Structures are given as C-alpha cells and as structure tokens.
Amino acid sequence: MTTVTPGEARFGRRRLLAGAGAALLVGALDGCSVGGFDRRTAAAPRLQLAPLRAATDRITQITVCTRPFRAQGPRLDVERIGQKTVVHNYGHGGSGWSLSWGSSSIAVENAMRSGERDVAVIGCGALGLTSGLLLQRAGARVTIYAKDLPPNVRSSLATGVWTPDSRICLEDSATPEFKQRWAAMARRSFQTYQTLLGLPGNPVEFIDTYFVSDDPASPHRRGQADDPRPKFAGLQRELLADLIPRAEEFAPGSHSLGERYLRRNTQMMFNISAYSRLLVADFLANGGKIQIAEFHAPADLTTLRENVLINATGFGARALFGDESVVPVRGQLARMIPQPDINYGLIYKDVAFVPRRDGMVFQVIGADDYYGYDDPTTVPDRTEAELAVNTIAGLYNGTQPGA
Ligand SMILES: Cc1cc2nc3c(=O)[nH]c(=O)nc-3n(C[C@H](O)[C@H](O)[C@H](O)COP(=O)(O)OP(=O)(O)OC[C@H]3O[C@@H](n4cnc5c(N)ncnc54)[C@H](O)[C@@H]3O)c2cc1C
C-alpha cells in the first residue's frame, strides 16, 4: 500500500491490467440497462451538469493499493489454532466496504456461538471495524489488535462506492450456495448503510453516476466475450436487481456534455474519511479497545488473552496465514481538491470519476476486471493518474459548460 504526493510519484510504470471499485459502477449501470439510446430523449428537459475543474495541477495525492481477491470468494470458515477459535473474515476483493456489514454479521454469529463474551478482532479496516461494532451489539467486550489503523489501512484507499460484486469471486465459484450467502450479505450491508445516511459529514450518501460514451451502440459493456480467461462473477443483475434504480438515458442535445450519449444511474458513495472516523468513534464510545500489534505467524495469536478471535486482516492474511489464494489486484486513485458543487460521478473511456467530498477520485479502471490482476506493485504511476484526469477533463473541453 502506498500513498505519495504527486512530486514523489514515479512516471512511466508499465500500464497494466485490471481496474477498480468502479467496475462496480459499471456493473450497477449494466444491471439497469433499459435498451438502446433513443434520439427522442433529445426532447427531454436539458440536463445541466456543473462543470468539473479536472486538471492535473489539482491532483493532491496518488494512492495505490491491492485488493484481496480470492477466486473462491471471501474466507469465512472457523479454524482452531492451539486453544483459540479463529473466525476468518477476509478476502473480499473489490467489495470489502460494500459487503462489510453482511460479511461481519456472519463472522460475529460464528464467534458468539462459542459462548465467550471477550472477543478479539485482528485488523482495523472495513471488516475489522464492522466486526467489532457488531460484536458489541451482540453483547461482547471487544479489543481490536492491528498493525495499522485508519487512515493507514488499505480500506482507506478504496474508491468508495457500493459495489458488492466487484471482483468478489470467479464465475465458476458462484455456486447456488455462494450466491445465496452473497445476496444475504449484500442485502444486510445495503440495509445497514441506509441507517448511515444524512449524518453530519455525510459518511454515506447517494450520487448519480453517468456512463458516458461517444458511441450510441452498447456503450456500457465491459470485457471481451471471446476472452479465454476465467470470468469474474457478476451477481448484482441476477440477485439484487430490485435494489438498483432504473437507468435513464440522455442523447446528444439533451445534456451539457456535448455530442455524447449518457446513461444515468444512482448509487451509494462512501466518504471514507468521515465514515471510518465514525466507525472508530462508535467502537470506542461503546467501550471498545484498540491495541497496536503485529502478528508474524498464526502461533502469535495464541498469546492473546481472548479465546475467540475474528481474523479481519484483509490482504495481510496472505502473509500471516500463508494463504496464497489471496491474489493482489492493483488499483490506483488520483485524488483531487474537492469541489463541493459536484455531486455526480462519471465513467468515460475506462476511467471512473467519483465526487468524494474528502478528495475527488479519478481512476483508470481498464477494459475489464483483469486490470491490475496479480500485480502486487504499489509504486504510483503519475502517467496513469494524469491519463485518468485528462480523460475526464476531455468531457468538458470544447463543451460550453451549460451550453
Ligand atoms: C483501488 C481500490 C478500490 C476499491 N474500491 C472499493 C469500493 O469502491 N467499494 C468497496 O466495497 N470496496 C472497494 N475496494 C476493496 C476494499 O478496499 C477491500 O475489500 C477492503 O478494504 C478490505 O478490507 P479489510 O478490512 O479486509 O482489509 P484492510 O483494510 O487491509 O485491513 C486489514 C487490517 O488488518 C491489519 N493487519 C494485516 N495484517 C496484520 C498482521 N500480520 N498483524 C496485525 N495486523 C494486521 C491491518 O493493519 C489492518 O488494520 C477497493 C480496493 C482497492 C485497492
């Protein structure tokens, strides 16, 4: 995981593979397609999108992180290590924030079944914090042990949108049982997020996202049908269609982004700084304790005083448990000075823009989910960051804002 200022970033890293949490954005849009563009929509009232000040000199930070992807999906089983019961809760690919409440509720049920009331959580990212809070709600006294705390955890470097099937597993592993459990996790998380709307600092909010294309034909498809590599599972359309608002289309002339085709959908966005602060504050206010600790081998866990542990170490589980099924999927964000009047997201030419209030996000998401796959490198690529910003900036060049 790396965070640098633009000046520290290295230029010219080989431009690679797979994309980010925004595949999720595309997934959401894709799931709601209502057919091709219709010129008749040009008669619809004009859509005025406030102009975005996208410029490379406004980049404040470039961050790189690896998603903890497992072909078979997250690990949620229970293991005995010495005298300890270890409940696993890691390997959520590009969906960790999105599935956190549902996944952690499964882990908490497994932990509470032991009858113990003092429970340890290893890890303080999205999964560790939600595990800690749900344990407290179930009546447990909880200590979180972690090497790093927010904002220095991988979870803090996510795109910040609700994308529950982003690189969650490969298609072959999406058995009927898996789908049922995944849908339950996603719905539980979605409902919990509804209770976090409208709070001070906007930890969670809904935004409109526009998929933009120069071409009216099938502008929202990702990946090649003839790609021989195993496919990533796409589950939202099949299992959560009722949670996704219907897409709306805007033909050239009906909006302020020039001669382009727009498809609008609505999705949840997480302002991760405010949201993780809220989670930590709630956990501490409920009497939770946080201790900095690093574990180098599973046997180290046996030194803890608690007998039941939830393992929420994310990508760290690969080294700690020697779990090589955790594959790194690199993702880079270019962060930019926030613009409070911008409350919509964009996807254009394999680049996603998310209007986060804690720093706007620009991200090359690649043509398919293999973008960044098996790439553990965390050196920021300034060229990629500028490509992301300039691609989105191109939507406003030659277009009179509001004209
Ligand atoms: C570029 C990018 C964009 C993403 N966008 C989204 C998105 O928009 N929506 C979404 O839902 N998901 C997104 N994700 C995925 C999401 O960020 C991850 O799935 C999620 O952060 C995993 O959370 P975690 O709590 O499991 O792990 P982490 O955040 O990595 O937390 C792990 C914790 O365990 C601790 N730890 C690890 N090893 C040890 C050890 N040996 N000893 C002690 N402590 C240890 C760490 O210090 C940390 O506290 C994105 C990921 C990336 C990389």
Q: State the 10-residue block means of pLDDT for the chain, 403 residues long.
A: 44 31 37 38 70 97 98 98 97 98 98 96 98 98 98 98 97 98 98 98 98 79 76 96 94 94 97 98 98 98 97 98 98 98 97 98 96 96 98 81 36
Contact of 239 with 167, CB cutoff 8 Å: no
Q: In what order do the strands lie in the sheet with 351-354?
A: 2-4, 59-70, 326-336, 360-364, 351-354, 344-348, 204-213, 261-270, 248-250
pLDDT one-digit tens code per residue, 145-154: 999 999 999 9
Confidence at residue 1, expressed as pLDDT on a 0 to 100 scale: 55
CB under 6 Å to ligand 1: residues? 20-21, 65-68, 90, 92-98, 122-128, 146-148, 153-155, 157-161, 163, 293-295, 312-316, 320, 331, 333
Cα–Cα dist 341/357, whole Å: 10
Candidate of 131, 143, 159 to mutate for ligand 1, largest count of ligand atoms within 8 Å of Cβ: 159
Predicted pLDDT of residue 42: 45
Ligand 1 centroid, distance to 103 Cα (angstroms): 14
Going from the Cα of 333 to the center of ligand 1, the distance in angstroms, rounded, reads 15
As a whole number of angstroms, the distance between CA 329 and CA 18 comes to 7
Cα(127) to centroid(ligand 1), Å: 8
Choose the residue to mutate in 155, 330, 375 for probing ligand 1, maximizing ligand atoms within 8 Å of C-beta. 155
| Gap between the Cα atoms of 108 and 95, Å rounded | 19
pLDDT for the residue 204? 98
pLDDT number for residue 13: 35
Q: What's residue 351's pLDDT?
A: 98
Q: Which atom of ligand 1 lies closest to the CA of 330?
A: 53
